[in-house]
Amino acid sequence: MPATSATPATAATPAANDQLLDYVTSCALPTPWAQFTLHAFVEHTTGKEHLAMVLGDIGDGEPVLARVHSECLTGDVLFSQRCDCGAQLEGALQRIAQEGRGILLYLRQEGRGIGLLNKIRAYRLQEAGADTVEANLQLGFHADARNYELCLPMLAQFGVRKLRLMTNNPRKIDALTRLGIEVTDRVPLLVNRNAYNNSYLNTKQAKLGHMMTPPAAVPADQAPAPAATPDVI
């Protein structure tokens, strides 16, 4: 039976307006692994809706198991194998459910901050030979255009300042630390490689500094049937 959040859906009260975003409302969110409480925020400048999934008592001052997840519609919703986002999202929620306590911030900064349409443009460039970083640069963007400043008021809503952060990305840890959020531990969040995400994961490791185990080659005879251009993701 899934764990149930100790935070009732109606318990959270709107915090004072922050300069960056407003707290809006919450509801129960049953998942296959636990019943979370889903909290909704709206960002002032963009009108984007950002979300927090909370399980258990996270406001007691102890470090909280946390995932700061950037939106990836293709990976989180459409089952894309080009990246590791969907598997990381699922893995993070499962891990929080196992502990019975934690928070997942779902930030609407799709495509590392360049948006869905530009991410699809970037995928097309990758099919022509660019890697994930080169494609962003060719489109005139930084390799990673995200910022994490919303995390501070979102976490403050729940009285959270110390995280055990599920990530492989050292720049995410640096960014949160600079905001004044204490990352007490990094919890690796590794997913299986496949023929479609292998070079994407290698590029994240080589060019974006992600901390992963050494790349393991995917034997050709174990790889799924090839798509049009699987090796240039």
Ligand X SMILES: Nc1nc2c(ncn2[C@@H]2O[C@H](COP(=O)(O)OP(=O)(O)OP(=O)(O)O)[C@@H](O)[C@H]2O)c(=O)[nH]1
> Pattern 81-100, binding to Zn ion, x per CB under 5 A?
--x-x---------------
Task: Please report, for residues 77, 170, 201, 217, the alpha-carbon distance to residue 73 in angstroms, rounded to integers and kept in the order given.
Answer: 5, 23, 18, 27
Partner interacting with residue 130 (select from Zn ion, ligand X, none; CB below 5-8 Å by kind):
none
Partner interacting with residue 122 (select from Zn ion, ligand X, none; CB below 5-8 Å by kind):
ligand X
63: nearest Cα among 186, 174, 209: 186
Contact 44, 75 (CB under 8 A): no
Catalytic residue status for 144: yes
Beta bridge partners of 185: 164
Residue given tokens 């840890």 in the structure block? 173
Least spacing, CB of residue 97 vs ligand X, in Å? 19
Residue 110, marked binder: yes
Q: Cα 218 to chain center, whole Å?
A: 25
Q: Cα 215 to chain center, whole Å?
A: 21
Contact 24, 38 (CB under 8 A): no
> Pattern 43-82, binding to Zn ion, x per CB under 5 A?
-----------------------------x--x-------
Catalytic residue from among 76, 84, 101, 146: 146
155: nearest Cα among 31, 12, 27: 12
111 touching ligand X, by CB under 6 A? yes
3-state secondary structure at position 67: strand
Catalytic residue status for 146: yes
Least spacing, CB of residue 35 vs Zn ion, in Å? 26
> Pattern 154-193, binding to ligand X, x per CB under 6 A?
-------------xxx--x----------------x----
The binding site for ligand X (CB under 6 A) comprises: 70-72, 83-85, 88, 109-112, 114, 119, 122, 132, 136, 167-169, 172, 189, 204, 210
